[in-house]
Structure 1
Amino acid sequence: MAQGEAPLVQAVRWIDDRLRDDPHVNRLQLVEEASQQFDLTPLDEEFLIRHLAAHPKPE
């Protein structure tokens, strides 16, 4: 990840990488982990949940 990159951008990339590795992973758990790892705000967490809702799980 690039130095100086916004934590939310880092979190989105981190989550997308995890979903690429395992598309069936628990998405809310990923948001919680990303929130802790990247020190996100509640508003950032809400954005991530909406971001994931826009990309449904594969069947």
Structure 2
Amino acid sequence: MSTVIPQSELTKRALDWIGEKRCGVSPLRPVAPLIEEAAVRFNLGPLDVEFLERFYSQQAKDECGS
């Protein structure tokens, strides 16, 4: 029997996974390929992918001081 995981939980897991991958190798590593891989790995929908793109876009702006 499989367990149904709420979509919001999958998005949280994707955020954690991307964070681990970025910090593990290089925080300057491009995030777009990681978002694509997370979308497949965590079965994310287009809206979830768009959220991740906006999240990391905003984070980059905050880091740069814009």
Q: TM-score, normalised by structure 1?
A: 0.81
2:23 paired residue number: 20
Gaps in structure 1 of 5+ consecutive residues: none
Pairwise CA distance, 1:26: 1.6
Which structure has more helix as a fraction of its residues?
2
Identity across aligned pairs (percent)? 32
Q: How many matched pairs?
A: 56
Pairwise CA distance, 1:38: 0.2
Larger RCO of the pair (alpha carbons < 8 Å, separation 6+): 1
Gaps in structure 2 of 5+ consecutive residues: none
* SS of structure 1 residue aligned to 2:59: coil
Q: Which runs of 4+ in 1 moved over 3 A?
A: none
